[in-house]
A and B are shown apart, each in its own frame.
Chain A
Amino acid sequence: MDVGGWIMLGFMWGGVITLLIYCFAKILTTDKSTEL
C-alpha cells in the first residue's frame, strides 16, 4: 500500500472512529442517560 493509500485509510478510519466515539460519549453523558 502506498502513502496515498495509508493517508486515505487513516483519514476515513480516523473520521469514522472519532464520530462513533463522539456519538456514544454524548449519549452516555447526556442527561437522558441511555433511556429514552
Chain B
Amino acid sequence: MANAPREHWGTRIGVILAVAGSAVGLGNFLRFPVQAAENGGGAFMIPYLLALVFIGVPMMWVEWTAGRYGGGYGHSSAPGIFQALWKRNPAIKYVGVLGILGPLIIYMFYVYIESWTLAYSYYSLTGKLTAAANAGQLTGFLSGLQGLSQNGWFASMAPAFIFFCITFLINIGITYFGIRGGIEKVCNIALPILLIFGVLLAIRVLTLFAPDPLHPDWSSFNGLGFLWNPDFSALKSGKVWLAAAGQVFFTLSLGMGVILTYSSYLRETDDIALSGLTAASTNEFAEVILGGSIIVPAAFVFFGPEGIVDIAKSGAFNLGFVTMPGIFGHLPLGQLFSFLWFFMLFLAGITSSISLAQPMVGFLEDEFGMSRRRAVLIFGIFTFILCQPAVWFLSNGVVDDLDFWGGNFFIVLGATIEIILVAWIFGMDKAWAEMHVGSSIRVPRIFRFIIKYITPVFLLIILGTWFVQDWIPFIFMEGVPSENIPYVLGTRLGILAIFVLLCAMVRVAWQRKKRAAQKEV
C-alpha cells in the first residue's frame, strides 16, 4: 500500500485564496447583513470584533497549526490529524470523524443551494428572471425552480435537477484535478472575480442615492445607517453577543475540518501565522465591507425603513433570491447586475463547496492509499446519492435538519474539542513553537493566553448556551409538522449510518496500516 507523494500548494497566495474562498460563502452576503441589522446595527460590531479577536483569529491559527502538523505525518483529515496530536489515545481518531462528517453533511445540501445561484445567473442573462416583476412573481419563480410548486415559471423539477447536476459535476471536476491543479487554480481566478463583482455591486448600490423623489430619506447612505447606526442598548442582551460570536464562527469556516485539511498540504516550514491572518482579513473584507454594502442599503432604498424590517424578518434567503432580483428589475442594466449578483454568489458557493469535498477525498487518499482519481470517483458516486434527499424532499425539513447537524452542532462541538486538544493535550508550548516554525510574523504573546484560556471558555459557553436554548428543542423536533417527522427521522438515521460507516472505515484503515507496518518489521 505505497502512497503516492503528498500534494502541496503551489504558492502562498494560492493557499490563502483557497482558505479565504472556503470562508467566503453565501453567508457573507446574505447572513451577515441581516444579523447585524437585527442585532443592534453598528453596536453589533463591538461583540463581533471581540469575537473575531478572541475566537475567530485564534481558532484560525490553531487549525492551521494542527493541520500542518498532521500533514507532516501524512494525514489530511481530522482522524489522522487528531491522532498525530494525541498519539497515546487510540480513541481520538474516532472523534476526528466529526471533521469528515460535518463537511459531508453540509455538502449534501450546499451544492443544491449553490445550483440555484447558477440557475439564477443563467435566467438573469436570458431575461426570464427579470420578467418576474414583483415579489409575488419572484417568490413563485423560486418555489417553481425548487419544485415546491408547479407554475407558469417552471412546469417541473427538470431545470432544477439539470442545474444541480451541472453544479455537482463542476465541483467533482475541480476536486478531480487536485489541490494544486484544481482547487488552487480555481480559487486564484474565482476569488478575485468574486471580489471585483462585489465591489461593482457595492458601488452601484451606494450610488443609487435616493431615486424616489417621494421618499428623499430612502437613500443608500441612510440604508448604510440602518446597518451601522449603533443601538448600544442592544449590548445588554446576551442574544446579541451570541449572534455575533456565531457569525464570526460560521464566516471563517472554523471547526468543520476544512482548514485542517487545507493546511495539511502545507510544507513543514511554510508560514502559518501571516497566511492565516491574511485569509481571515480577506474574508472580513468580503463580509464587513462588501456584504454590508449591497443587500441592506439596496433594500432600504426601495422599501424604506419599515419595509426592510419585514423583509429582514423573512430571512436571508428571501432577501437574496426574491428581494434582490426585484430591486435589479428597477435599475438600468438590471439584467447585468442581477447576473453579477447571482454569479458572485455562485463563485462564493463553489469555492466553499470544493473545500467541503476535500476532507473526505483526502481521507480516502491518505488512509486507504487510493489514487485521487479513484477517491474522487467514490466520493462523487457516494455524495451524488447523498444529495438526493435535499433535492427531492426540500419542503419536508430535510435541509433544515442537515443544516442544524452539519452547519451548527458538529462544527461548534468539533471546534471546542479541537481547541482543547491543541491547547491542553498537545500542549500550548509545543503548539506555540509549531505555529512559529517558518512564520513570517510573530504572533503577539497575549494570544498564548487567549488560545489556552479565553477561546476554550468562550466556545464552552457558546456550546452550553446554544445546547440549552436552541438545540434541545431542535433535537426533540419541537415545531416540526407531524407530516415531516418521518423525513427528519430518516435524515438523522442517515447521518448516524454515515457516522458509523466512517468510524468503521477509520478502524479498517488503521488496522491495515498496523498490519503493513508489522509485515515490514
Contacts and interface: CB of A to CB of B under 8 A. Distances in A.
B221 to A, nearest CB: 5
B267 interface: yes
B229 A5 contact: yes
A8 B10 CA distance: 39
Contacts of A7: 42
A30 B13 CA distance: 13
Interface stretch (B112-120, B151-159, B271-279, B388-396): B271-279
A4 B42 contact: yes
Interface string A1-36: 110111111011101110110011011001010111
B281 A20 contact: yes
Contact of A24 (B222, B230, B278, B284): B278
Contacts of A23: 274, 277-278, 281
Contacts of B45: 8, 11-12
Given A2-B225, A16-B284, A23-B281, A36 B11 contact: yes
A35 B11 contact: yes
Contacts of B441: 26
Residue among B13, B41, B42, B266 with the most chain A CB within 10 A?
Answer: B42
A4 B267 CA distance: 46
Contact of A20 (B43, B228, B285): B285
Interface string B438-456: 0011000000000000000
A30 B273 CA distance: 13
Contacts of A9: 42, 224, 228
Given A1-B224, A24-B278, A8 B42 contact: yes
Given A16-B284, A20-B285, A5 B42 contact: yes
Given A23-B277, A32-B440, A1 B271 contact: no
Interface in B265-297: 266-267, 270-271, 274-275, 277-278, 281-282, 284-285, 288-289
A8 B225 CA distance: 10
Nearest to A35: B11
A26 B440 CA distance: 8
Interface string B11-34: 111011000000000000000000
B228 A5 contact: yes
Contact of A26 (B9, B229, B274, B289): B274
Contact of B221 (A1, A19, A26, A32): A1
13 contacts: A9-B224, A12-B45, A15-B49, A16-B288, A19-B277, A26-B440, A26-B441, A27-B274, A27-B278, A34-B12, A34-B13, A36-B10, A36-B267
Given A1-B224, A7-B42, 12 more contacts: A1-B221, A4-B42, A4-B230, A6-B228, A9-B42, A12-B49, A16-B284, A16-B288, A17-B285, A20-B284, A35-B11, A36-B266
Interface of B: 8-13, 15-16, 41-43, 45, 49, 221-222, 224-225, 228-230, 266-267, 270-271, 274-275, 277-278, 281-282, 284-285, 288-289, 440-441
Interface of A: 1-2, 4-9, 11-13, 15-17, 19-20, 23-24, 26-27, 30, 32, 34-36
